[in-house]
Amino acid sequence: MNKLFGLLCFVAIGLSNLTAQNLNFNDSWKFFNDKAVGAEHVSFDDSKWRNLNLPHDWAIEGPFDVKYNARAGGLPFHGTGWYRKHFKMNADAKGKVVRLEFEGAMYNANVWVNGKFVGKRPYGYIGFEFDVSKYLKYDGSDNIVAVRLTPEDLSSRWYPGAGLYRSVWLKIDNPIHVGQWGTFITTPTVTKEIGVIQNETTVVNKSGKDETVTVKQEYYNSENNLIASEKEELTVKANGSAVSELYTKIKKPLIWDLDTPHLYNAVTTISKGNNVLDTYKTRFGMRTIAYTKDGFFLNNKPVRFNGVCIHHDNGSLGSAVYKRADERKLQIMKSMGVNAIRTSHNPPSREFLEICDELGLLVQDEAFDVWKMKKVPNGYNKFFDEWGERDLKDMVLRDRNHPSIVMWSIGNEIIEQKDKKNGWRVAKRLNDYVKEIDLTRPTSAGFNNYSGPYDNNMAQQVDIAGVNYKPTKYSELRENYPELALYGSETSSCTSSRGVYHLPIEKYKTHESKHVTSYDLIGPPWAYPPDVEFHFQEQNPHSMGEFIWTGFDYLGEPTPYGGKDNSTNGYWNADWPSHSSYFGAVDLCGFPKDRFFLYQSQWTTEPMIHLLPHWNWKGMEGQTIPVYCYTNCDSAELFVNGKSMGKRVKGKDLTELKVNFLRYEPKTFQSKYRLSWDVPYESGNIKVVGYKNGKQILEEQINTAGKPAKISLSVDRKEINADGEDLAYVTVRIEDKFGNLCPNADNLVNFSVKGAGELLAVDNGNQTSVESFQANHRKAFSGMCLAIVKADDVSGKITLYAKSKKLKSSKLEITSK
């Protein structure tokens, strides 16, 4: 559709025999990354500007540089960027309502059409639209839309990206049509036998007279079979709007749940007589949610949040939205045992929520990281008074039909927690804004300033109090506030670098390598190993669960290097080139760290076992190497070169962890969640065997690798869509001649692509690498790197070639259909 529409735009957009159009407007934009005086005017010459398609994040193109803030990824996200698009419309569109919808523009967007200013929107994370009907020419001559973005330095605590990073749409409707985000579908009754669908649809009348129309609601299951319908007559005042309210019952509904995320479609038709004026599709799910002081219930069943916080960037792709990138990210999270996502700390893309609906993931949709009181000098606080209400309400309006969303968050670690006089008033106002639109879901916020928000009446303004990094206070909170529902809205904040192990095991602040050990015990002062949260969640069954910080590494905020969280004194470049997060259970590439398996061992029931560290310690023969095992088996036995090192029983044999975090006096923690052995090193192999009910059920072995000899390639999907957008993720391993991963290899790998695709990006998960994501080469890190291939819009074979000096090269074939 994108390519076809790009062609239509430059020929003419015709509307004959069409009631409405929602046309993708992503193709054939012009871009200039600097100030351009007069670029909003029709007469401006943009012939030398760069041609590109959206979505586009100009900052991810780099370069990395110490002159940029490592806290925001060390990339040039601030400055001025201009986008212009030329298109034609013919006389058929005249008299229609033509709107431009931007799903996201980062940030401080100003929009002109044919030289006329049509509007602005400062917040980069929320979508918006403008009615541009009166600015357009309908005689087949050139129309020009111009967008200026001016993101500021010191405006974000992480990498925000830059540009038109989400999709743009041209929406052409009759004067009478369904309004923006105009449907609200709820399911007040859902049982195995019967389901009630309640549909509130806002109908807009931009004509000059009152009109009476028929509103018909049809409901289809996933097989596209019509299962129910209702209709009514509705009178809509001239230049006004009215709401149609209809409900219907269906028998034996297919319920949206974690393991069976069934989805339905509602098709709303607005007609007058025999003339159809508009059709509008809404996807929804049938489910119930409930919260009490003792837990969260989905479809009347108790569910605990095995949750992760996730930022919006996709590593080497930056903030540009590719649906497959988010799909893969969420699939990886689900394989870890995750059932819930916190969209820290801003509204996510439409595609992200659609995937959560499809995968059966619960979502906390979060609006803000800051209100009026600043965390960084040029943050959202500058816009909050003018735009806070609009942005919050628009988030709820946009997202309220997603069954995956089970709560709204009005803020994260808001500085107003310390404001005894006014903080609670702001929280109440924001809570009320949400309730004006949606009474079916609770509100929440992430509170870190214990016990301030509780003492200051702020936590009481939301339905559910989120607790950041205070596991030792769960029981105290229950005692002091027995009716207040709570959960761990941010937990652990453990940091690590994939495949890196520092010996001896010790609790340090930073390491000279600028990496962090994957023995999973290091973190900033407020942080603690995952085991601690597991323990206190078990001790406090009234907690609804946790959202770990974070599921994936993200660009920027390279704690524990470079700076202090929430500081307002500028740059975090003291430990350059550290420039991306160490917090993830998964690295920027999507490669699991060891911590991934620690969570998997607690959050999944499918038998699993994981062994660490690697077994290449040349020069350390005879020295003690701590070996850890993460498993959901009853017990595990370790073997070194075939010799048993003993069996360990989970829950009985404890592993001592060194800890040092706020509000916790002991300097060690006895973990029942890890099995461990101290083993004198000798080359060869280590193997762990897992047992359930006394029976051996699985094992894992790590061999000492020889010299790097070859490149091994594997792909997440061998067949992708030829739509110009779909992606294939290729894992690159440096192996010895026997196929063992070389865990210390850092060979430079060169890539080339032939056929119906292109190399889109490369990465290796190294938080200190300043190699370009846009290059055709990448060094391995801990023996691995990544290549991302994007399909063209023509079917065919795509071949990726990978070469490196002194290594056997490799190639991989992907089919694009």
Model confidence pLDDT, tens digit, residues 193-250? 999 999 999 999 999 899 999 999 999 999 999 999 999 999 999 999 999 999 999 9
Q: What is the DSSP letter of 418?
A: G
Which range is least confidently modeled, 17-26, 92-101, 802-811?
17-26
Identify the band that residue 566 occupies on the pLDDT scale cut at 50, 70 and 90. low
Model confidence pLDDT, tens digit, residues 393-408? 999 999 999 999 999 9
- Complete edge-to-edge strand list for the sheet that includes strand 710-715: 710-715, 727-735, 784-791, 757-763
Exposure of 136 in the CB half-sphere (CA atoms within 13 A): 26
Q: What contacts 207, CB < 8 A, 6 or more positions away?
A: 175, 176, 238, 239
Report the CATH fold assignment for 710-816: Immunoglobulin-like (2.60.40)
DSSP track, 555-589: BS--TTSS--TT--S----TTTT--B----SB-TT
Nearest to 794, CA basis, from 721, 715, 729:
721
Please give the average per-residue pLDDT across 256-279, as a whole number. 97
Q: Are strands 305-309 and 340-342 parallel, antiparallel or unpaired?
A: parallel
CB atoms within 10 A of CB 130: 18
Please give the average per-residue pLDDT across 669-697, as a whole number. 97
Spatial distance between the Cα atoms of 627 and 297, rounded to a whole number of angstroms: 39
Q: 361: phi > 0 → left, psi -120 to 50 → alpha, else beta; which?
A: beta
Q: Are strands 777-779 and 748-755 parallel, antiparallel or unpaired?
A: antiparallel
Model confidence pLDDT, tens digit, residues 697-748? 999 999 999 999 999 999 999 999 999 999 999 999 999 999 999 999 999 9
Helices (H) and strands (E) in the chain, counts: 9, 46
Give the model's pLDDT for residue 7: 28
Identify the band that residue 563 occupies on the pLDDT scale cut at 50, 70 and 90. confident
Please give the average per-residue pLDDT across 571-593, as a whole number. 97
Active site residue 665: no
Give the model's pLDDT for residue 567: 66
Buried b (16+ CB within 10 A) or exposed e, 72-90: bbbbbbbbbbbbbbebbbb
Model confidence pLDDT, tens digit, residues 286-325? 999 999 999 999 999 999 999 999 999 999 999 999 999 9
Q: What is the DSSP letter of 420?
A: T
Active site residue 413: yes
Vertex 426: Cα angle to 311 and 567 (nearest 5): 50
Please give the average per-residue pLDDT across 364-381, as a whole number. 96
Give the model's pLDDT for residue 784: 98
Q: Is 15's pLDDT higher than 90?
A: no
Q: What percent of the chain is modeled with pLDDT above 90? A: 95
φ and ψ of 375, to 5 deg: -110, -35
CATH superfamily of 176-284: Immunoglobulins (2.60.40.10)
Q: Is 122's pLDDT higher than 90?
A: yes
Spatial distance between the Cα atoms of 415 and 790, rounded to a whole number of angstroms: 42
Report the CATH fold assignment for 2-173: Jelly Rolls (2.60.120)
Vertex 281: Cα angle to 392 and 790 (nearest 5): 80
Q: Which of 40, 103, 413, 533 is catalytic?
A: 413
Give the model's pLDDT for residue 564: 77
φ and ψ of 597, to 5 deg: -75, -25
Give the model's pLDDT for residue 568: 63
Q: What is the DSSP letter of 704?
A: P
- Structure-token match 């600015």, residue found: 135
Architecture of the domain delimited by 609-703: Sandwich (2.60)
- Complete edge-to-edge strand list for the sheet that includes strand 810-816: 719-720, 810-816, 796-803, 748-755, 777-779
Please give the average per-residue pLDDT across 537-566, as a whole number. 94
Q: 18: phi > 0 → left, psi -120 to 50 → alpha, else beta; which?
A: beta
Nearest to 487, CA basis, from 463, 521, 518:
463
Burial class of 436 by CB neighbour count within 10 A (0 to 12, 13 to 18, 19+): exposed
Q: What contacts 705, CB < 8 A, 6 or more positions away?
A: 614, 616, 735, 736, 740, 741, 742, 743
Please give the average per-residue pLDDT across 329-334, as a whole number. 98
Please give the average per-residue pLDDT across 449-478, as a whole number. 95
Question: pTM of this prediction?
Answer: 0.96
Q: Which of 103, 490, 533, 700 is catalytic?
A: 490
SS3 track for 122-153: CCCCCCEEEECHHHCCCCCCEEEEEEEECCCC
Spatial distance between the Cα atoms of 406 and 619, rounded to a whole number of angstroms: 54
Give the model's pLDDT for residue 570: 80
Please give the average per-residue pLDDT across 738-761, as a whole number. 98
Q: Is 3's pLDDT higher than 50?
A: no
Identify the band that residue 90 occupies on the pLDDT scale cut at 50, 70 and 90. confident
Give the model's pLDDT for residue 662: 86
Give the model's pLDDT for residue 1: 30
Model confidence pLDDT, tens digit, residues 47-80? 999 999 999 999 999 999 999 999 999 999 999 9
Give the model's pLDDT for residue 440: 97
Every domain of the chain and the residues it spans: 2-173, 176-284, 292-603, 609-703, 710-816
Does the domain at 292-603 match CATH 3.20.20.80? Answer given as yes
Spatial distance between the Cα atoms of 564 and 542, rounded to a whole number of angstroms: 33
One fold for 2-173 and 292-603: no
The mean pLDDT of the chain is 95
Which range is least confidently modeled, 6-20, 97-111, 159-173, 522-536?
6-20
Q: Is 526's pLDDT higher than 70?
A: yes
Euclidean distance between the first and final Cα of the chain, in Å? 15
Count the residues in the chain. 817
